[in-house]
A = this chain, B = another copy of it.
Amino acid sequence: MNNSSIIKPRKLSGFMELLPNQQLIFDQMIEKIKSVYLKHAFLPLDTPVLELSEILLAKSGGEIDKEVYRFNKGETDICMRYDLTVPLARFVAMNSEILHYPFKRFQIGKVYRGERAQKGRFREFVQCDADIIGNGELSLVADAECLKMVDEVFEKLEIDIVNQISNRNVLFGYIEGLGYKNEIKKILTVLDKINKIGIENAKAELSDLGVDQENIENLIDIIQKHGKFSDILSKIESLSSNPTFLLGINQLKEVYQYIKSMEINEDKIELNLSIIRGQDYYTGTVFEAIIPQHKEFGTVCGGGRYDNLATYFTDKKFPGVGLSIGFTRLFDLLLSNNMLTQIPTTNVTLQIIPLGDTIKECLQLKEYFANYFVCEVSYEERSFKAKMKDANKKEIPFVIVVGEDEVKTNVYSLKDMRNSIQYNLSKEDCLKTILNSK
């Protein structure tokens, strides 16, 4: 084939593609998240990436439509999923009779949003979701269980977070109590973007909505409250006698009791009344975890309680609570900020290098070691020197050289590449030496 027919290899922009040694770490972190979900008795679900557009777009307004990958295949109007929640709702509605409740499922999979490509935004990204779905009703223990999993996931990932927790009823009821029942959504929208637009602009917008000066101060004041649960609760609980407000306070108190029983690390959580989470469907507990050392990363995990999961697909009521980690974005941030302590070049512990015609003996030796750690034979046609150089470049910790003498005597030269110490040992002693040094 000549040059003229060669197509320049390239990928679509906005799609992450890691090098295999980076992908190894990515996968290991995903495994850790999965292990926490499994530990809490969540079972995996894997819905198709493609769904009928009628299903995926059942609830959507305009915005998601533009982002979504949508096309026809034959007569069928198809979308690529843009989140894992609508597929969950569809699944629960379809299988509601055979599921056990509370139904706990996790789903770790790719979702697709064709938004404008920009740094840190991906058109394909892995989401790690876990949700608890009740049949008709759902205990607040479920909310605490999600908070516990957030705690454990980031503990396991060795990432320092603070999970900022609130309850939408508190702010909702507070605003209602101030007398702005009809403006609640608009006021919440302003308060939700206060970090973006700044306090002064927020005040102006609140004023435009007809909120008077004193109440603007009250609102700014309450959403700035954050800190230890017990401190904040005692400061705010008497701020209003609105029933929704009091409901929210009581839900927070109850969740906090469970938090203590579950031994959630209290340094890693705070009650923070600025947490609103724009989306309409949250109805109680809401939370957003941030990395305090890197506030610019924004929310690395979020979630909350919703009254009704599957309202577009069934008359039955399925309240739920869940958490979601946008892992592709998080990994990209960790990688580009050098926050992944080590990206190894390889997963190989021992490289076996033949010297002369000993390839078969090397392969046999690999069988011996391969039950204990990852082990590789240098079987490519290159010089011995080049192979040693490669092992060094790949930062493989141990090398065994197998020449014809070694085969005869069953004594092998084992080299610890990290300190250049060389041993002459039987294969059994090579094994012990490597295992002891790990």
Contacts and interface: CB of A to CB of B under 8 A. Distances in A.
A379 interface: yes
A94 B11 contact: yes
B374 A41 contact: yes
A48 B315 contact: no
| Number of chain copies forming the complex | 2
Given A114-B73, A367-B262, A381-B139, A11 B43 contact: no
A5 B258 CA distance: 38
Interface residues of A, number: 102
A54 B311 contact: no
A227 interface: no
Contacts of A310: 9
A324 B134 CA distance: 40
A17 B91 contact: yes
A283 to B, nearest CB: 15
A115 to B, nearest CB: 11
A45 interface: yes
A134 to B, nearest CB: 7
Given A41-B346, A45-B20, A315 B6 contact: yes
Interface of A: 1, 3, 5-12, 15-21, 23-24, 26-27, 38-41, 43-52, 54-55, 58, 69, 71-74, 76, 78, 89-91, 93-95, 98, 100-102, 105, 110, 112, 114, 123-124, 134, 137-139, 141-142, 144, 257-258, 260-263, 310-315, 345-348, 359-361, 363-364, 366-367, 370, 374-377, 379-381, 390, 393-394
